[in-house]
A = this chain, B = another copy of it.
Amino acid sequence: MLIVMELTATPDQIHHVVRQVENRGYTAKKIPGGERVSIGVLNNKGAVEKALFMGLSGVKEVIPVTRAYKQVSREFQPEDTVITVGDAVFADGHFPIIAGPCAIESVEQALTIAQAVRAAGAVLFRGGAYKPRTSPYSFQGMGLDGLKILAKVREKTGLAVTTEVMDLETFDAVEEHADILQIGTRNMQNFSLLKRAGKARKPIMLKRGMAATIDEWLMAAEYILAGGNTQVILCERGVRTFVNHSRNTLDISAIPVVQKESHLPIIIDPSHAAGRRDQVLQLSRAAAAAEANGIMVEVHHDPDNAASDGAQSLYPEQFEILCRQVRAVFCSYEHTGA
């Protein structure tokens, strides 16, 4: 951390800052510049909180240098974390495709879609049982019955299944029925939930918060690793910006940045990024081209009558084309990953 003093900072102010740094147990190193003094904060284990020094008098700016995350960092673990769930392998040169409806609506719906997406090439089935909905008056998901349908899908199709977990009360049930537990964008910084996920025996798919920086996202993952669960898959699903032609703005740069900073796999959710069917194919191919570690796509056999998010769900025949094209793209260039 670098503490930059005002041009007009007095020796007393500088001295006070140095003392504060030392009081917190760090080493302070004065760096006299041409015009102003800066103070380096050294020998810190982990990140130092910026707020500790920003308000001291004579301080112009405080510039963090060390990242606050540890276990998720590639500096901590240089080799990729490879996560295997059923037939899906995240990282290690694979590109698993997860697919299924926004919400589980019935056994028939789930099985119909699961068989279609498996035939097209999906290796994991997704489907919401507990649904976070903006409106209290919208369909909130089938709950436990939905979880049981997911288990039946796995039994009948052999596909592993993933679904969202929303709270501590239903965590055990979701952990029992699903193979990967999703933590949604609205819960990325639900720290109580993250702590529980750190105790889970199943991999966690951690979606990026709607307006989270990569630092904040990795810190959220750090909560899970710090709790003892090292099986975390990051999922970029678009961020909120001024742009209004897609529901969110897919941040493609997040792929190389996360892969450089962290050893955890990162997948893309093009359906929630786009919010509309007619952008999903292009975003999916872009994800494959940017060397993401997989994608998760919404598919529905009858989207016009879907219980939720029909507008962004692909028809099975569109999904088939998507699978073919996405694989072709992913295989067309030499990979740099482990």
Chain A interface (Cβ within 8 Å of chain B)? 2, 4, 7-8, 20, 23, 29, 31, 33-35, 38, 40, 42-47, 49-56, 61, 63, 65-66, 68-70, 75, 132-138, 166-169, 186-195, 209-211, 213-214, 216, 219, 222-223, 226-227, 239-246, 249-257, 260, 273-274, 276-279, 282-283, 285-291, 303-305, 308-313, 325, 328-329, 331-334
Contacts and interface: CB of A to CB of B under 8 A. Distances in A.
A4 B68 contact: no
Contacts of A45: 34
A254 to B, nearest CB: 7
Contact of A166 (B8, B166, B192, B332): B192
Nearest to A291: B282
Given A2-B2, A33-B43, A329-B333, 14 more contacts: A33-B42, A49-B138, A51-B312, A52-B311, A54-B311, A55-B277, A55-B312, A132-B189, A166-B191, A239-B241, A246-B257, A260-B278, A329-B329, A331-B332
A218 to B, nearest CB: 10
Contacts of A49: 138, 308
13 contacts: A2-B38, A20-B304, A46-B137, A51-B310, A55-B276, A63-B63, A133-B191, A136-B191, A136-B194, A211-B211, A252-B283, A286-B290, A289-B289
A34 B44 contact: yes
Contacts of A243: 213, 239, 251, 253
A22 B24 CA distance: 35
Contacts of A290: 282-283, 285-286, 289
Contacts of A7: 75
Contacts of A286: 252, 286-287, 289-290
B310 A55 contact: yes
Contacts of A138: 49
A296 to B, nearest CB: 17
A282 B189 contact: no
Contact of A54 (B133, B276, B328): B276
Closest 10 CB pairs of A and B: A211-B211, A289-B289, A54-B311, A167-B192, A285-B289, A55-B311, A286-B286, A186-B189, A332-B332, A325-B333
